Chains A and B, each alone.
Chain A
Amino acid sequence: MVARLHQDANGTLHWLDRDGEDHAGVSLVRAFPLTAPDEAICVVGVHGNELHEFASLAALDDEQRRVIASALSDREFMPVIERINSVSRRWIPTVWAIDTDHGATDLALDSEEAIRRIDERTLLVRDARGICFLIKNYPELDRRSRRLLERFL
C-alpha cells in the first residue's frame, strides 16, 4: 500500500497512510517556510500530531506535487514584495506603498524589529496588521526600491 495525499470534492485534505487508514482534515506545514520552503513539508493531523514528512518534493510524482502545491496555496499567505513605490516617511513609523505578487497594497511599519534578515538575499517584513511580507533577492530589486529600503536596514 502506498501512502498518498489527496483532496476530496469538498477540498478536504486526506492522508491515506501505509496501513490503509484514512486521516481526514489533515493539513500541510512547511518546517522551514523561510530558509528551505521545499524541504521537510509535514502532514499534520487534526490534533496537531505529525503523520508524515515529505523530505523533498523531488522524489514525488507530479500528481502528489500538484496536490501539495494546491493545499499549501490554500493556507499560506506570504506576499512577496516586488517593488516599493513610495514611503510616507524615512523613519519608523512609516507606510510603504508596495507592489506584491498578490497586487498593490500599503504596508504600515511600526517597529524596527519588524524587518528581519533571513539571509543575504531575503528579508521578512511584518506589517502592523501582522502580515508577513517577503523580499526575495533583495540585491536584485530595482534601484529605487533598494534605495528606499536601505534607509530602514
Chain B
Amino acid sequence: MHKDVAASSPLPLDAVPSRSAPIARVELDLDERFNFRTSVLSLDTAGLHWQAAGAVAQHWPIDPALRLTHQSRAGAGCLRLEGPDGTLALWRHTQSVNPAVQRLRDGFRRLLREREGASDSVADDATVICPVCKNPMPAQAEDCPHCERAAENPPSTWILLRLWRFAKPYKKQLILGFILTLVSTFATLVPPYITMPLMDKVLIPSQRGEGIDFAVASMYLGALLGSALLAWALGYWRTYILALISERIGADLREVTFAHLLGLSLEYFGGKRTGDLIARIGAETDRLCVFLSLQLLDFATDLVMIVMTAAILVSIDPLLALVTLTPLPFIVWMAYLVRDKLRFGFEQINRTWAEVTNVLADTIPGIRVVKAFGQEQREIRRFTELNQKNLRMNDRVNRIWALFSPTVTLLTEFGLLIIWAFGIWQVGHGRVSVGVLSAFLAYISRFFTRIDSMSRFVSFTQQAAAGAKRIFDVLDCVPTVPQPNNPQPLGPIQGRIELRNVSFQHGSHTVLREIDLTIAPGEMIGLIGHSGSGKSTLANLICRFYDVSHGSITLDGRDIRSIGLADYRQHIGVVLQEPFLFFGTIAENIAYGRPGASRSEIITAARAANAHDFILRLPLGYDSLVGERGQSLSGGERQRISIARALLTNPSILILDEATSAVDSTTEKEIQKALDRLIEGRTTIAIAHRLSTLRKADRLVVLDQGLIVETGTHEDLMQRHGLYHHFYMNQIQAEEVA
C-alpha cells in the first residue's frame, strides 16, 4: 500500500527531502471523522510524513513555529499539528497505537528542542511506559513485551502442566505413589487371569467326568484371595500417600497465590472485584486439589489398567484382543469432540460463580446502604439472576455431559457383543478354549468400566484447566510497582521529599502534570484543590502505591524507586478519610503497624490520639472487639484509632488524606488535637477540605486539574487573590450561613 501511494503521488520525488531512518512510525487506524481507515504517520530528522491510501502524501519539516499536541478521550486519541495560524493537520487513532503516538510526539518535541539549540533533552522522555501494564518498554518496541507475554497464553489443558511447579517439592512421594499404583493395579489384574486355568484345568475337566483336583483348585483360590488382599493393601497405601500430597499441593497453591496477590500493586486491586478474587483463592484452589487428589489419581490408575489389560489380552490371543479393542478409538474420538465445548462451559461456570460471590462481597459490607434505600429485593433479584445463570450454564454443560456417558456405555456394550459373537465362533472352531474366552470377558468388563470412568476425566480436566487458568492469571501478574534489585537499606532518614517534573497517568487520563515540589524535613504542607484535582493521587505517589509516569520522587536525595518497598513504607504513616479497622480487638488494631508494641506503648499512642478515654468506656476496654471494619465504633472513634495506629509506628513522613472530612466539627476538634500532636516533628502532607484544618501548615499548595497553581503561606495566597482566596472566601460564607 505504501508503495502504491508513493507511485500515484503527484509530488515530484525531490519535493520530499531524502529520508533518514524513521525515529517513530505510527499506523494510524482512524481518519478525521473517526472512520476506521489506516494511514501511516512517520517522523524522521527531516520532519513529519503522512500517507493515506488513495491520498496525496504530505510532509511538514521540523519548524520551531510548529506544535504537536496529543489528547485522548473516550478510547480515541487525537494528534494535532498546530502552526502560528492554527491547526495544520489532525490525526485520530484508537488507544491501541497510543504508545507509538506518544513516542512520535516526544520525538517531535525533542527534535524541536534540538533545532532550537537546547540540546538538554530530558532523559525521561526516552523511556516509554506501556499504557496497559505500566511497565517501561524498550524505546523502539511497538508492543509492550509484558503485555505480549500475557496475550500469548491461550487457555488450554496444557496449563495444568504448570502445576508441576507446585508438585516438584513432593517428587519422591509422587514416584512412590506411582510405583504403588502400578503394583496395585497389576494385583487387581491377577484374578481374571486365574479364571483361565480355573476353567480349563479344573471346571471343564470335571465336566468331562475327570473329577476335581482339589489341591490345584485351592491353590488357584488361594492366589485369588492373595491378590485381592494385596490389591487392597497397596491401594490403600497409594490413595493415602497421593491424597496427602495433593492436599499439600493445594495448600501451597493457596498460600502462594495469596502471598502473590498481596504483593501486587494497588492498581491491580482497583480493577478487580473482591468476590472474584475470593472465588479464585478459595473455590478454585480447592477444585484443583480435588482434581489432583482424586480425579488425576483415578485417571492414572485407569490408564495403567488399560495399558496392562491390553498387553495381557494381546499376549493371550492377539486376534481376539484386536477385535476386543475396536470400540476404543471411537471413544477417544468422542472425548476429543466434546473437550472444547466442556472447557468453555466450565470457564463460564467459574466466571458466573465468581459473579455470584461478587454480589455477596458487595452486598454484605454495604448492608446499611442496601437497607437504608430499601433495596433488599433488588439485591435478591440480582443474586437470583446470577444464580439462575449459573444454573443455566451448568445445564448446558450437563446436556453434553449426560449424552456422553451413556454413549460410552453403549459402545462398551457393543464391544461385549462383538467379543461374545467372535468368541463363540472361535470356540466353535476350536481356536480358543472356553477358559480363554471367559478370561477375556472378565477382563473386558473391567476394561470398559475403566474407559467409562476415564472418559469422565475429560470433564474433570477441563474443569481443572479452567480453574488453573484463573489462578495462573493472578500468579502471572507482575506488580506494577516493582521492587528494586538489591536495594540499599535506608537507615535513619531526615524526611526531605522532592518531586521533580512529576507527571502521572491513569491509563490515558493524565491526572498530574509537571509537579515540582520540595518538602523540607519536618515541614507541613497543606494540599488544597477541587475534588478530583489529583490531591490523593499525589499522596499515593509519595506512598509509592503507584509509580510516576514521568519525572522522579526522591527521599533525602534518593529516588524512591531504588528503595525497598517495605523499608520505604515503614517510614510513612497514613491516615485516610475512611479509616479501615480489621476484625480484632482495639489493642490489635492500634498495634497493626507494629505487632510487637507493648501495652503501655499502645496506651500512650491511644492517649495521644485522644482515644484512650472512649476506649476505657467500652465494656472490655482495649480487649473489645471492633467487629468487621470497626462497625461497632463511630466514625470519629474509628478515625482516632487509626491515628493511634499511625502514631505507634512513629513515622518520619505523615500523610493525612482528608483525615477529618468524615466527621462533624466537634469531633473534628477532638481529632485535630490528636493530629496536632501527631504532626509534630514529622514531614507532613495534609489534604483537607476545611481550610481551618490546615492552619498549622508551613506552606499551602493549591492544585488545579493536576497542576500546581499556587504555593505559599496563607497570607501570601490571600494577597494573591487567586484560587486559594476564592476557596477561603467561599468557606467563610458557608460558615456564616451555618
Contact present for B621 and A29 (CB under 8 Å): yes
Task: Determine if B732 is an interface residue (Cβ-Cβ < 8 Å).
Answer: no
Total A residues in contact with B, Cβ cutoff 8 Å: 20
Q: Complex: how many Å from CA A9 to CA B616?
A: 27
Which residues of chain B from 378 to 410 have a CB within 8 Å of any chain A CB? Answer: none
Contact present for B623 and A34 (CB under 8 Å): yes
Task: Determine if A73 is an interface residue (Cβ-Cβ < 8 Å).
Answer: no
B52-75 near A? 1/0 per residue, CB < 8 Å: 000000000000000000000000
Which residues of chain B from 315 to 350 have a CB within 8 Å of any chain A CB? Answer: none
Contact present for A31 and B625 (CB under 8 Å): no
Contact present for A42 and B616 (CB under 8 Å): yes
Task: Determine if B2 is an interface residue (Cβ-Cβ < 8 Å).
Answer: no
Contact present for A32 and B623 (CB under 8 Å): yes
Contact present for A31 and B613 (CB under 8 Å): no
Task: Determine if B550 is an interface residue (Cβ-Cβ < 8 Å).
Answer: no
Contact present for B620 and A34 (CB under 8 Å): yes
Task: Determine if A72 is an interface residue (Cβ-Cβ < 8 Å).
Answer: no
With most chain A CB atoms within 10 A of its CB, the pick from B619, B622, B625 is B622
Q: Complex: how many Å from CA A48 to CA B615?
A: 10
Task: Determine if B130 is an interface residue (Cβ-Cβ < 8 Å).
Answer: no
Contact present for A31 and B617 (CB under 8 Å): no
Q: Complex: how many Å from CA A118 to CA B600?
A: 19
Selected from A34, A49, A118, the residue in CB contact (under 8 A) with B613 is A49
Contact present for B603 and A40 (CB under 8 Å): yes
Contacts of B621 in A (CB 8 A): 29-33
Contact present for B599 and A32 (CB under 8 Å): yes
Which residues of chain A from 1 to 44 have a CB within 8 Å of any chain B CB? Answer: 29-36, 39-40, 42, 44
Contacts of A132 in B (CB 8 A): 619-620
Which residues of chain B from 594 to 639 have a CB within 8 Å of any chain A CB? Answer: 599-600, 603, 607, 612-617, 619-623, 625
Task: Determine if A142 is an interface residue (Cβ-Cβ < 8 Å).
Answer: no
Contacts of A29 in B (CB 8 A): 616, 621
Known: A31-B599, A36-B599. A50 touches B620 (CB 8 A): no
Task: Determine if A55 is an interface residue (Cβ-Cβ < 8 Å).
Answer: yes
Selected from A33, A36, A44, A53, the residue in CB contact (under 8 A) with B620 is A33
Task: Determine if A144 is an interface residue (Cβ-Cβ < 8 Å).
Answer: no
Q: State the total of A-B contacts with C-beta under 8 angstroms.
A: 47
Task: Determine if B587 is an interface residue (Cβ-Cβ < 8 Å).
Answer: yes
Q: Complex: how many Å from CA A29 to CA B622?
A: 11
Q: Complex: how many Å from CA A29 to CA B612?
A: 12
Task: Determine if A116 is an interface residue (Cβ-Cβ < 8 Å).
Answer: yes
Contact present for B612 and A50 (CB under 8 Å): yes
Contacts of B603 in A (CB 8 A): 31, 40, 53
Closest residue of A by beta carbon distance from B606 = A31
Contact present for B625 and A50 (CB under 8 Å): no
Q: Could you tell me the distance in whole angstroms from the C-beta of A123 to the nearest C-beta in chain B?
A: 13
Q: Could you tell me the distance in whole angstroms from the C-beta of B370 to the nearest C-beta in chain A?
A: 21
Q: Complex: how many Å from CA A74 to CA B249?
A: 56
Known: A31-B621, A35-B587. A48 touches B600 (CB 8 A): no
Q: Could you tell me the distance in whole angstroms from the C-beta of A73 to the nearest C-beta in chain B?
A: 17
Q: Complex: how many Å from CA A40 to CA B585?
A: 16
Contact present for A50 and B623 (CB under 8 Å): no
Contact present for B623 and A118 (CB under 8 Å): yes
Contacts of A42 in B (CB 8 A): 616
Which residues of chain A from 106 to 124 have a CB within 8 Å of any chain B CB? Answer: 116, 118
Known: A32-B587, A36-B599, A39-B599. A48 touches B616 (CB 8 A): yes
Contacts of A118 in B (CB 8 A): 623
With most chain B CB atoms within 10 A of its CB, the pick from A30, A31, A39, A53 is A31
Q: Complex: how many Å from CA A147 to CA B613?
A: 41
Contacts of A32 in B (CB 8 A): 587, 599, 621-623
Q: Could you tell me the distance in whole angstroms from the C-beta of B116 to the nearest C-beta in chain A?
A: 68
Contacts of B587 in A (CB 8 A): 32, 35
A109-153 near B? 1/0 per residue, CB < 8 Å: 000000010100000000000001000000000000000000000
Q: Complex: how many Å from CA A35 to CA B625?
A: 13
Contacts of B614 in A (CB 8 A): 48
A residues touching B (Cβ–Cβ < 8 Å)? 29-36, 39-40, 42, 44, 48-50, 53, 55, 116, 118, 132
Can you spell out 14 A-B residue pairs with CB atoms less than 8 angstroms apart?
A: A29-B616, A29-B621, A31-B621, A32-B621, A35-B585, A36-B599, A40-B599, A42-B616, A44-B613, A44-B616, A50-B613, A118-B623, A132-B619, A132-B620
Given contacts A36-B599, A40-B599, A49-B613, 8 further A-B contacts (CB under 8 A): A30-B621, A32-B587, A32-B599, A32-B622, A32-B623, A40-B603, A55-B600, A132-B620
5 closest A-B pairs by CB: A34-B623, A29-B616, A31-B621, A31-B622, A32-B622
